[in-house]
Amino acid sequence: MNTIRYLLFDLDGTLVDSSLTISASLDYALDRLGIPTAGHGPVSALIGQPLLDIFRKQYEMTDTQAETAIAHYREHYERLDQAGTTVYDRVRDALSALKDQGFGLYVATVKPTDIAEKVLSDLGLSVYFDGVAGASRSHERRDKASIIAHALQKFDLDPLQSLMIGDRDQDIFGARENGLPCIAVTYGFGSRGELESARPEHLAEHAGDIVSLLMNPSGTL
């Protein structure tokens, strides 16, 4: 625990609840393509996956169709301008406390970097972070493991001093692939069963638990 100096946070489901914004943007994209929106089920099951994979796998679109859907999705997402997206309880206090303790704070997200930066800025969270590493617009870098690897390289972070914090199993697996421990938050979009099956180093019930774990030298990480 005492060796951790750099914290990589997931965005959707960890820092912010963006389910309403994402659901509205997804419905808009599907409607523009003439696809019924009632059949996609709970949007929480899709959040955290790259858009290209959602449209290709969930809706069996061709690459061309998926690219068109992504364009419609982002058009509406940008128009909403964070309407429907809220910062989770205790997140601001947790980020402030961690920053005050000298941790380097970063975001590692499947959102493209520029979109993630705008979300953080619009919601007043950018002041806490030292950098943002997101997916590439061209889709080559879109899975969580490659995004975490990109963050480590981009910001010259030592994996032995870094830790991932996220709400889905891909955050845990991506962290492990890069040699990082992970705190999984249970208040996001991943179910407790999903998270426990992925075996994170610790679970956090709320953002305050993240601070407690990192400040407690006898913690389990």
pLDDT (0 to 100) of residue 72? 96
3-state helix/strand/coil string of the chain = CCCCCEEEECCECCCEECHHHHHHHHHHHHHHCCCCCHHHCCHHHCCCCCHHHHHHHHCCCCHHHHHHHHHHHHHHHHHHCCCCCEECCCHHHHHHHHHHCCCEEEEEEEEEHHHHHHHHHHCCCHHHCCEEEEECCCCCCCCHHHHHHHHHHHCCCCHHHEEEEECCHHHHHHHHHCCCCEEEECCCCCCHHHHHHHCCCEEECCHHHHHHHHHCCCCCC
Name 57's Cβ contacts closer than 8 Å, sequence gap at least 6.
Answer: none
- In terms of DSSP bridges, do strands 182-185 and 202-204 run parallel, antiparallel, or are they unpaired? parallel
For the chain, give the longest Cα–Cα distance: 55
pLDDT (0 to 100) of residue 41? 67
pLDDT (0 to 100) of residue 44? 84
User: What single-letter amino acid sits at 67?
Assistant: E
pLDDT (0 to 100) of residue 83? 87
pLDDT (0 to 100) of residue 218? 58
This model's pTM is above 0.85:
yes
Query: By the 8 A CB rule, do 43 and 21 touch?
Result: no
pLDDT (0 to 100) of residue 160? 97
To the query of whether residue 10 is one of the catalytic residues in this protein, the response is yes
pLDDT (0 to 100) of residue 217? 55
| Residue 215: both structure tokens together | 């400040």
Task: From first to last of the 221 residues of the chain, give the pLDDT tens digit.
Answer: 679 999 999 999 999 999 999 999 999 999 999 988 765 667 888 888 889 999 999 899 999 999 999 999 999 999 998 888 999 999 999 999 999 999 999 999 999 999 999 999 999 999 999 999 999 887 778 899 999 999 999 999 999 999 999 999 999 999 999 999 999 999 999 999 999 999 999 999 999 999 999 987 555 54
**Exactly one of 10, 12, 167, 171 is catalytic; which is it?**
10
**Dihedral, CA atoms, 184, 85, 103, 180, nearest 10 degrees?**
30
